Amino acid sequence: MATSPHAQDQLANLTIEEKASLTSGQDFWHTQGIDQRVPPIMMTDGPHGLRKQAGETDHLGLNASVPATCFPPAVALASTFDPELARRVGEALGTESAIEDVAVILGPGINIKRSPLCGRNFEYFSEDPIVAGALGTALVQGIQSKGVGASLKHFAANNQETDRMRISSDVDMRTLHEVYMRAFERVVKDAKPWTVMCSYNKINGVYASENPWLLTQVLREEWGFDGLVVSDWGAVNERVPGLAAGMDLEMPASGGATDAEIVAAVSDGSLDPEVLNTAATRVLDLVSRAQNRPEISGPLDVHAHHALAREVAGRSVVLLKNDDDVLPLHPDQTVALIGEFARTPRFQGGGSSHINPTQVDNALDAFTSLKGEAMEFAPGFTFDGSNAEALREEAVALASKQDVAVVFAGLPEAEESEGFDREHIDLPQVQLDLIEAVRAVNEKTVVVLSNGSVVALPFKEEVPAIVEAWLLGQAGGSAIADVLSGTVNPAGRLAETIPLRLEDTPAYGSFPGAHGHVRYAEGIYVGYRWYDFRDIDVAFPFGHGLSYTTFGYGEPNVAVYSDGDLAISLDVTNTGSRDGREVVQVYVGLPDSEVERAPRELAAFAPVDIPAGETRRVELIVRREDLAYWDERVNRFVVEGGTYRIDVGASSRDLRRQVDVEIAGDSVSLPLTLNSSIGDVLANPVVGPVLQKQMAGMMDAAGAAGTEGGASGDGGDAIMNPVAMQRMLADFPIGRLAAFGMGMDKAQLAQLIAAANGE
């Protein structure tokens, strides 16, 4: 967002006090206006629906907001693996925001799901940055296509709710760049969001809101972000250092207190006035952009947006298991619908993203319309666990006389929300007891889950069918009926691994930290990377999801484009009797890498609709930049040269085809020092041959001395084999050779190093 001439003209006519006032809010949701010259603009919560509060304001979802479409939250939308669908949701969000005269909607949230315990996981996409980046990009592009700004959040390393306003995320640079900031980089570069929201937490001891490395060096100088940085609501620690770091707009209003601090700092010379000018100009640019957006008039087409919410919800459902084709339900089957969630759906998470929906579909009504008298309902349990035995007995009696039992289970709202983290990944015991009892009397038991983050599935081997329905938004009840009846062929895929136990998860033991610090001890091994690297069994792997049809994969072809991107193309055939959608996934690994890597990492994916019996050619693009690792020696991404293994399949552990491709690496030039290894010096084209010749002479002399001394066999005085000696010395600091009398003194070695560095 280049600075507009209008903003520059406005800035020239403002006092220091007026400029400072622009850098904090006017109230809870509006930026500061200045008489008739600068109007205030409104920001509101998102990101899966518009939460515009008309009365009392808050940031915790406590007070009412205007009716809006509650689309499936990110936990569900991610399971579509469909950027185009995400873009359509973004367009709808932008339309609703524009109708309500909202300039910026606060979302999407693209933080990585480090642990399944994070209470806000329902609002985030994935444990994988490629999925989060691709879907986040599409959502932002959709929102902003309607002239409404998006606010990409929460930047950065904000992966828990426990002590979220003070905790320091202590994470190494490679992990931070490769895992936790990679999705942000992609969205910033590809979608150019109007604003980026900095997070509450510290990163390696420095608050995100006053972190110049994060907000200026990385975000602006390295990634090219030219929009406005806004604080999360209440994230400001010290305002003047925050402004200097690149945090432009403090929200909500400070009542003028921090404005006065800025004015005082400029007046006493401790703050460069150009810093204030820059931040004020960015606010003016944002206001100008909001004023110039195309007009979208109401009223909202409530029915059309509800239909879109239903379509997205249906695409989000993941069929985890379907033994003996229990699903879809047959028209002539009788059904026992069991579980309070069927009647009282949990369709969104708690906190700042809580939407006041325009309508809510529940599964009970949807199945009543679908099955009529062939369906009966029993609540099975209450959310508070009361009257458990009687309700279970009623449900079991019903299940025993019907053809199929569909049990709706899940997490009550009190167990996951913004503001606190979960303590376990278990379903309530009253629900587990119900599932066991129903399964005992009906072998065709289907479990449908409603949850914002993964749960343990101890009944996995006992029931024939499991449906992960997440939190599906306001049309979720109808969407579940669509999938279970076969009207919609399930195509959802897991964007996060479902573990067998909490103890198996990557962050177990280091989440959520203590005494103000959380150590990211697992490093780059987040999500499926961890389970694959350690060969840990899981309940269901990342990328998994079944269909009512089957798909066959042809041999892949790989082409390397001139810009270094890879094009993987292959034929995919629907080998079943139903039309369906497959999500083709490409994983990349470098088995002989010189650095730590997971066995494979997702590099590209594509959903493809294929009619029964037909074949579609699928092409997926792997960006060269997504092959790179963060090299801490040079502080940048580097593509390592070598033979990469390309796996194409239906999940991270359902790999159908494999092909190798040779990739040229990036040049990494490091100056040599006396602490460089002998191996590094030998690899230098200038002095490597010189050292090689010197070492060969030393080894020949040592070998001759050993022969004259009669060394032979495996006696203790035998001279080491020259090849073994060279391997042993490969990591030996070259400067230490002088102490061993091996033909070169320290001055000679220093001359060698200087020649290598071109000095």
Q: Residue 436 — left, alpha, or beta (φ > 0 → left; ψ -120 to 50 → alpha)?
A: alpha
Angstrom distance (rounded) from CA 177 to CA 10: 38
Angstrom distance (rounded) from CA 616 to CA 647: 19
Angstrom distance (rounded) from CA 337 to CA 533: 41
Q: State the pairing for strand pair 104-106/149-155.
A: parallel
Q: Residue 475 — left, alpha, or beta (φ > 0 → left; ψ -120 to 50 → alpha)?
A: alpha
Can 232 be counted among the known catalytic residues? yes
Complete DSSP assignment for 347-385: -S-SSTT---BS----HHHHHHHHHGGGEEEE----TT-
HEC per residue, 386-452: CCHHHHHHHHHHHHHCCCEEEEEEECCHHHCECCECCCCCCCCHHHHHHHHHHHHHCCCEEEEEECC
| DSSP β-bridge partners for residue 447 | 407, 466
Residue for token pair 């203790």? 716
Angstrom distance (rounded) from CA 45 to CA 196: 14
249 in Cβ contact with 31 (< 8 Å): yes
Q: Which residues contact 466 (CB under 8 A, 6 or more apart)?
A: 319, 320, 321, 446, 447, 449, 457, 460
Q: State the pairing for strand pair 168-170/517-519.
A: parallel
| DSSP β-bridge partners for residue 410 | 450
What SS3 state is found at 93?
helix
Q: At what angle do helices 476-485 and 302-316 cross, to 10 degrees?
A: 50
Q: Which residues contact 683 (CB under 8 A, 6 or more apart)?
A: none
Considering 45, 232, 285, 482, which one is annotated as catalytic? 232
Q: In what order do the strands lie in the sheet with 206-207?
A: 206-207, 202-203, 168-170, 517-519
- Alpha helices in 493-549, H assignment, sequence order: 528-533
Angstrom distance (rounded) from CA 129 to CA 132: 5
Sign of CA dihedral 670, 671, 675, 678: positive
Residue from 404, 575, 494 nearest 126 by CA:
494
Residues known to be catalytic: 232
